[in-house]
Structure 1
């Protein structure tokens, strides 16, 4: 896994005064995800408010960039200590050409080195599943859907019927499911719902 020393600053809710670190980040195989301090970040592709990356779990925006040799990583109008990861101190001092950290602006810290790869994969799989079909399928008329889309919505409605707590909602799911099954029957296709 490729690693690099980076400057990271929390932007959400802080303008230019958010918590900031200089630490060793790891990149996923694709290079699209950056891991640091038990978190995973992906690029905002220019769509951020003040950050260029976001935390995949919290949604918070961060500024992540290479470290500057002149130590001007924080915005000129920003403030607050920058935490430097202990394990990379000598490498960082070499980059900036110093023999020790200026105590006023920097502080040594330990960070979580375990990468949340499994947790993030699960999160991304959850997000990816529904996008196979548009979420607005439920709002279209049955005759506007393809056979696969109808079958997908029927399967979702069957799940919803099983899991819903209130009879009124269950009846509404069932009514919608029966409409979709009738549409498939019109098309001459046997449905999942017939065995429910």
Structure 2
């Protein structure tokens, strides 16, 4: 898939994010599939290039019209040294001038729920587990047992589940 192409003349670069047309673009740092930047809200890749005097702003596999902000046309023409644009290659557009810095900051810094238990839970022996961890693992193993394709795998899962159920019963008796 060819990325969306932007030959940006009039943009604001604030550190590692480029703000343009109400969007924030972050560098792919060489890890993009086809683009060099991605939209921080949607993840869509874009090829963003500064203005080139030889008009090679577009990605090599890109197609379609190049969008230029109406207010930037005069400066763009001066920069590349031509007097007019070929209307079949370019489209003049109005852009959003708002810089969505706060909205993007909030989105990127949302607190996600921490997992109920860490991954080490699977490596602990039954006596090392809390009662809540045992209950959680029993539920997981019951589900895995139902979904197991092979009998040997199902037996191994059942064996682990039975050990945990035994530990669970011991705890209930001792805490009485």
TM-score interval, smaller chain? 0.5 to 0.7
Instruction: Give 2:11's aligned residue.
Output: 25
CA contact (8 A) 1:22 1:82 kept: no
Aligned pair partner of 1:140 in 96, 103, 120: 120
The answer to whether the Cα contact below 8 Å between 1:36 and 1:113 also exists between their aligned partners in 2 is yes
**TM-score, with structure 1 as normaliser:** 0.56
For the Cα contact (< 8 Å) 1:19–1:81, is it kept in 2? no
Counterpart CA distance in 2 for 1:47 and 1:36 is 21
Greater gyration radius: 2
Distance 1:143 1:15 in 2: 45
SS at match of 2:83: coil
Stretches of structure 2 that go unaligned for 5 or more consecutive residues are 125-176
Q: Structure 1 unaligned runs (5+)?
A: 1-13, 145-196
3-state SS of 2:10 partner: strand
TM-score for both structures, normalised by structure 2: 0.61
* RMSD of aligned Cα (Å): 2.7
Mark the CA change 1:137 to 1:66 in structure 2 (over 3 Å): closer, same or farther.
farther
CA offset at residue 143 of structure 1? 10
> Which runs of at least 4 in structure 1 moved beyond 4 Å after TM superposition?
none
Task: Identify which of 9, 19, 23 aligns with 1:39.
Answer: 23
| In the alignment, structure 1 residue 108 sits paired with structure 2 residue 92 | yes
User: How far apart, CA to CA, are the structure 1 residues paired with 2:122 and 2:56?
Assistant: 59
